[in-house]
Structure 1
Amino acid sequence: MQPDRRPGGRSARVREAVRQATLAELVERGYAGLTVENVAIRSGVHKTTVYRRWGSAEGLIADALDYAVGDPWPIPDTGTVEGDLREIVRLVRSGFADPEAGPVSSAFVAAAMQNPAAAGALNAFYAARHEQSAVVIRKAVERGELPEGVDAEEVIRVAVAPVYYRLFVTHEPVTDRDADRAADAALAAARQGVI
């Protein structure tokens, strides 16, 4: 009889060590400097194990993003759709402004612009975040704050899009006022049935 496998055993420890090393390497060296060798050294996991399980830098990025989908995402509940949507956009803004999380998030976006596998992983990550966040729009429809038929996930996309535009296209700072304006514009479009 084989012993039961322990949940969170060696495999989970290896994955977490490699994930943390991947994130640290992305912050320190960016996507262009991310290598399996450096992740192996930083994580303390043998290089052949990293190659066998993740295959490449793109595999490391994809796995880190896949793992992050399960990380908790705080969904606001202010009691109004205005407050909830503003809080979601502010969360996105503050995530990129955070000295620890911001460089990692920016590196994921940069990697996605350069590699199809990373782009697919980032797309899946954001699809999960949009689905989680859309609950605030669905609640607003139930409360009668928004019309039936509103595309809840599209409202979230439209609300956060100006933050990404400022950060990654025009390289402008994003203030809370900018975040609130983006949320309010998406909300106005939703109320008019545009979204």
Structure 2
Amino acid sequence: MTEKAPPPGTQRPGGRTARTRAAVRDAVLTGLGEHGYPGLTVDYVAAHSGVHKTTLYRRWGGVEELVADALDLAGEDSWTPPDTGSLEGDLHALAQEVAESFDDPAASAAPAAFVAAAFRSPRAADALRAFYAERFRRSAAVVERAVARGEAPADSDAGDVVRAVSAPLFFRLFITREPVDPAFADRSAAAAIAALRAGVFSAHGSTQAPASTQPPADTGA
């Protein structure tokens, strides 16, 4: 059976060095921050990376693959989730990391442009999905450690928990375009923690309210 060739830009040809790929990635990030996805061009990337335009076309194919490969490279970093020693500390720290990463408009321009690109390019959408899937996979360790310490139900869906922490933040950042401050990040983490402890994220998909919250039975008196 013939193995399917990988998409352009996702596999390093023999002549492409890590330095070249990083230079192209940096140029893509700068271009996204300055012009957004619609304004990014191969000419811009060539001028700012020092890589000839014909080389960019031959190895990446065009803007769509350049953006996707920049995301692929971002996902190859060594980031690890917080490890404060407690579930609450880890999830609050995780929420604060998200908020802080978008606190500087200049620094957040490229991530926001990646999201915009995902709506226009199927390849960019796949790369963005893979990037966040990897981030959430690593973040799941926070919940797994909490389960081992007895701080969370054993059947908790770790992936859903960490998604619940960042979901309100991403909604504000990318949908309603509202500001996100440390207090809101803390509330997002607190809501996820409360839901986790209430069994909302049970892998079995069923929850039951604590007995104290149930209305009293009608005794007919």
Q: When the two structures are superposed, what TM-score results if normalisation uses the length of structure 1?
A: 0.92
Residue 75 of structure 1 corresponds to which residue in structure 2? 81
Query: What's the counterpart of residue 122 of structure 2?
Result: 116
Q: How does 1:1-195 map to 2 (within 5 A)?
A: 11-195=17-201
User: Which is further off, 137-146 or 73-82?
Assistant: 73-82
1:112 is displaced (CA, Å) by 1.0
The one-letter code matched in structure 2 to 1:122 is L
- Give CA deviations for 1:142-168 in whole Å, capped at 9, x if unaligned: 000000110101101111000011111
| 2-structure distance, mates of 1:174, 1:74 | 22
Report the Cα offset of residue 101 of structure 1: 2.8
In structure 1, how many angstroms separate the alpha carbons of the residues matched to 2:174 and 2:130?
19
What is the alpha-carbon distance in structure 2 between the residues aligned to residue 38 and residue 84 of structure 1? Answer: 40
Larger helix proportion of the pair: 1
Per-residue deviation, 1:100: 4.2
What is the distance in 1 between the residues matched to 2:44 and 2:96?
34
State the Cα deviation string for residues 95-130 of structure 1 (Å, max 9, x = none).
111344311111111111222111110000000000
- Structure of higher CA gyration radius: 2
Q: 1:10 to 1:124 in 2, by over 3 A?
A: closer
Q: Which runs of 5+ in 2 are unaligned?
A: 1-14, 202-221
In the aligned structure 2, how far is the partner of 1:175 from the partner of 1:42?
34
Q: 1:51-74, CA deviations, whole angstroms, 9 ceiling, x for partnerless residues?
A: 111111110111011101122324
Q: Which one-letter code corresponds to 2:113 in the other structure?
A: A
Aligned-partner residue type, residue 18 of structure 1 = V
RMSD across aligned C-alpha pairs, in angstroms?
Answer: 1.5
Deviation, structure 1 residue 14: 1.4
Separation in 2 of the partners of 1:182 and 1:113?
26
Distance 1:166 1:132 in 2: 23
Q: 1:30-88 CA deviation, whole Å, 9 max, x = no partner? A: 11111111101111111011011111111011101110112232421111101100111
Q: Which of structure 1's runs of 4+ aligned residues deviate more than 4 A?
A: none
